[in-house]
Structure 1
């Protein structure tokens, strides 16, 4: 086995130099683990096939960082997974560097073993990406010191990683991919062989349809995601281990489809590429639905109300005498496992004042982007300064105080909790398991139609998977009320268990840190309107300033109306707008695994403004064409939908609207991150009682139901037109925005 099967061909300015640096760094990595564990990994190291004359010398971290940055700028971090993984130690401090090399060495040894087997490329690639993110992502920096010693034997290392993952630290989801790689490496996973299928004898004639067997893919995707297994028609030979097809069909009928099939085609490269993207989209949608399957209201694997009642009655009967019953009840009420409760004990407090005096309370602050700005700009924003609060019954105070203040054997607690669950299952014929009990809070909220973003913020789980969490700012009391409704539903409305008054200040919020104040936006649009009024009837010398401010004014209005992401050539061409139907086609985030294109309805004010903008382009076309022919052609293309609709002017030269250019031209108007409008609108729409799944569809987020206007979606255009009507009231009544007339100087 050669290390060259893991390393990708460098795509840098100096590929040979990059390859040399990579090989030297591999030598440094392997030499490190040889020093830590001599003679332990000799066979695996020899199998790497490193050159005999390899000169091992410690690489300068600045050199590694420069090559890593070049790969990152090229957008090849996913494609160059192994190269980026090897270079990622540049981001480590001097104290962390040796530990990082040992981690890399164990991963390389595992990857070099599994790469020889079929169907493990995806496992390897995900683990390499996970290590790279742990080293380079500043948000995961707190997890790195807690990682165990990777020089341990595989069995002990896997156990340590599992314990760390269960603590629920930020970034611990990356450990899943690492554990999967190490488990396969530890088990020396065998080569995958397909199973043959035949019809049971005596049940009728053989089916006329052909059998199917896995074959090599017809093409290999050059994108980030793993390829789907392609299928071709081929005859199969009988085998002693044949499986009865009737039994297999029965099993398949009881399961959700998890794989999509494609036919082995002979077609041009562009068709193959298109099919590859379609397959990846189908896989992403299927994985998303499967991930959400546990939260379906009709999902039989979830616990029933009867089972929860049996659990609560048993725990409440023994809660004073048995602390383990209190721990089990806590897992149910806050949706956390015992490890998370114990190791995040800074989040669990016993309140000594306020509305929850002498009650245990779970407090935590969601880990979200800070969006730091200069001090003078702080007055423009509403910052989130609160914490998520989940209150617990007073009966749990004694047991949880003991958990916080004393050293307790978690393994013994887990065994005792499992005994309680087994006892209830035996007596009441229930199907209780600890994971089902922990997941019941999320399932209950989802079945009651609670916004998935609010569920994620409340539980502190799936925040990275719910994109709305980064844009949404919600009142602390609102989340607390959601949780108290759940607790009251489970335990009953008893004065002994709950505070009668919440008394949470309404201005305390959690979530997005980039919430612009409504007054700020109203004042900004008023100033822009005044400036446009002054410039509109001036001489042609003021045209350029008028056009640039006019463009920013319209873009800000449309961004608030549509939630469009800041991209190059926003709103593309006039063909994206349907003025008769009042709709807009948006394609602002085409990625390899999902499609975010959508059609939304436009507010009336935005439509009126676009009509004015078309007239503006017509008015300035002749004047600019006489001075700058090329710029005139660009404006003509904008009017005929053959070129970008929006642009800036600099000395009457055509300047494309890109995020960088928009940031420059708007810096003196509103010097904030360009997606401030998405933060503002997500929060504003939820405050105005637009349901979360409608807001996700409007913003282009794929929710649990998939694409907002997909085949099986319950959302229709009437819902989006309702959103447009509500947004129009925001523009006109709250922000005092008016459609501005075009340039009119003669």
Structure 2
């Protein structure tokens, strides 16, 4: 009886639920709807429908004042993005060390729809009214076998964009997906020209035109302003190695400890994408005995993750342990308190990275690192994450794998959760790619025998 009583209601709910899902619209339906939109470009509802289809953006976002729209000399529309990045002042001597970033970026909307969209936005229509009208239009255009909704229209680019090699990150930019949805969006600096070229092919396919939409000859980058290029990474490590060489030459144990520790810390952060925090990397026992794995907790308990170290990473940790062991024996008579502190580090009784200033031997803090580098390295403490996230995304590494490595996955999405589809193999892939990048950046590997000659 219960089944009969509620059967019709359940069926009605299921139909409603299915039509709200990001289900793929078949190609014939896309072409049929697109043909109608093209033939009726002067109609405001058809124009809005086509703009949603071309950009994947919601109706509300297309009408929002937060998204800039202007027409280029050819009449095409340059539709801006909601992605904003913090303004920075880069010292003159470092300007060629960062990936440049333009103030804004845009996607192109074809001329007839762009002009109509501009008029619609200027008229400031009632959102509820235009939404209701567009829903009604889509209902009328829907074929018998499926219902076309606003949500499904937005998601066409998610399915069909792959035909034109648009990856998830690029589609997020085109759709102006909120950056908070995927935290990597805050870190990445990317080429805009290649995205516009791919998007233009998608637009031509939707509009069923043989030629791509005319593109402005603009090449540039957009995104994070703190991503270093290869030259910048070399410059950062060159400064540290110069300080280290001076310490070796003049046989100054305190300076030697300071700069070799700084070198190891910067290199490990580059390899593991560890966030800047108090007592980075915690204690030595966070590494397995063979230094093959590392447990990171750099932003509260929810950030805890296990990272596999590659050949370079294991070598770096091993060299630092040897350095601490040798240094403790060399300064045992002159500075017994410091030597005892180093021994405590090796026994995992104290944090791995310390500052040594006179008789003070205390764990490394963020303020200490800022003071250590001061004007010589005018970089944010998390430049490693900006730089490597940029490199990984631009090399086509899956953003979900990057998220797992950077500690952006929520606990239930992590590789060791039984509720997650993530694989620990993802981390190996990201690790190997990072070590390849570090090698290509020509970051030097300074061994203990070079320090204690």
Same fold (TM over 0.5): yes
Unaligned runs of 5+ in 1: 1-199, 201-242, 256-292
Match status 1:512 vs 2:243: no
Q: Paired residue for 2:147?
A: 431
Give the deviation of 1:678 after TM superposition: 0.5
Distance 1:533 1:387 in 2: 43
TM-aligned CA distance change 1:661 to 1:528, over 3 Å: closer
Quick one: which of 368, 374, 395 aligns to 1:688? 395
Quick one: which of 305, 316, 324 aligns to 2:38? 316
Quick one: which of 322, 325, 328 aligns to 2:49? 328
Q: Paired residue for 2:182?
A: 466
SS class of match (2:307): strand
TM-aligned CA distance change 1:342 to 1:723, over 3 Å: closer
Distance 2:205 2:411 in 1: 25
Distance 1:537 1:602 in 2: 32
SS class of match (1:552): helix
Unaligned runs of 5+ in 2: none
Distance 1:251 1:436 in 2: 22
TM-aligned CA distance change 1:558 to 1:704, over 3 Å: closer
SS class of match (2:306): strand
Q: Is the 8 A contact 2:101 2:221 kept in 1?
A: yes
Matches within 5 A, 1:409-424: 413-424=130-141
Q: Is the 8 A contact 1:663 1:674 kept in 2?
A: yes
Q: Is the 8 A contact 2:94 2:232 kept in 1?
A: no
Cα deviation digits, residues 617-663 of structure 1 (max 9, x gap):
11122344445554333211211223211111111421211111121
TM-aligned CA distance change 1:742 to 1:549, over 3 Å: farther
Quick one: which of 164, 167, 170 aligns to 1:454? 170
TM-aligned CA distance change 1:658 to 1:697, over 3 Å: same
Quick one: which of 648, 652, 667 aligns to 2:355? 648
Quick one: which of 547, 561, 565 aligns to 2:271? 561
Quick one: which of 467, 486, 491 aligns to 2:202? 486
Distance 1:481 1:630 in 2: 63
Q: Paired residue for 1:350?
A: 71
Q: Is the 8 A contact 1:621 1:635 kept in 2?
A: yes
SS class of match (1:315): helix
Q: Which structure would you say has the larger Rg?
A: 1
Q: Is the 8 A contact 2:60 2:127 kept in 1?
A: yes
Quick one: which of 322, 326, 342 aligns to 1:619? 326
Q: Paired residue for 1:144?
A: none
Cα deviation digits, residues 655-681 of structure 1 (max 9, x gap):
211111121122254132101110001
RMSD: 3.7
Quick one: which of 116, 125, 129 aligns to 1:399? 116
TM-aligned CA distance change 1:579 to 1:476, over 3 Å: farther
Q: Comparing both chains, which one has the higher relative contact order based on Cα–Cα distances under 8 Å and sequence gaps of 6 or more?
A: 2
Cα deviation digits, residues 90-127 of structure 1 (max 9, x gap):
xxxxxxxxxxxxxxxxxxxxxxxxxxxxxxxxxxxxxx
Normalised by the length of structure 1, the TM-score is 0.54
Give the deviation of 1:521 after TM superposition: 2.0
Cα deviation digits, residues 118-163 of structure 1 (max 9, x gap):
xxxxxxxxxxxxxxxxxxxxxxxxxxxxxxxxxxxxxxxxxxxxxx
Distance 1:307 1:708 in 2: 39
Q: Is the 8 A contact 2:56 2:156 kept in 1?
A: yes
Q: Paired residue for 1:498?
A: 213
Give the deviation of 1:410 after TM superposition: 5.4
SS class of match (2:434): helix
Distance 2:385 2:340 in 1: 33
Q: Paired residue for 1:304?
A: 25
Q: Is the 8 A contact 2:354 2:364 kept in 1?
A: yes
Q: Paired residue for 1:181?
A: none
Give the deviation of 1:314 after TM superposition: 2.7
Match status 1:545 vs 2:263: no
TM-aligned CA distance change 1:527 to 1:373, over 3 Å: closer
Give the deviation of 1:557 after TM superposition: 0.6
Q: Is the 8 A contact 2:81 2:104 kept in 1?
A: yes
TM-aligned CA distance change 1:301 to 1:467, over 3 Å: closer
Distance 1:567 1:345 in 2: 34
Quick one: which of 428, 431, 434 aligns to 1:727? 434
Q: Paired residue for 1:597?
A: 304
Q: Is the 8 A contact 1:347 1:364 kept in 2?
A: yes
Q: Is the 8 A contact 1:452 1:466 kept in 2?
A: no
TM-aligned CA distance change 1:566 to 1:422, over 3 Å: same
SS class of match (1:673): coil
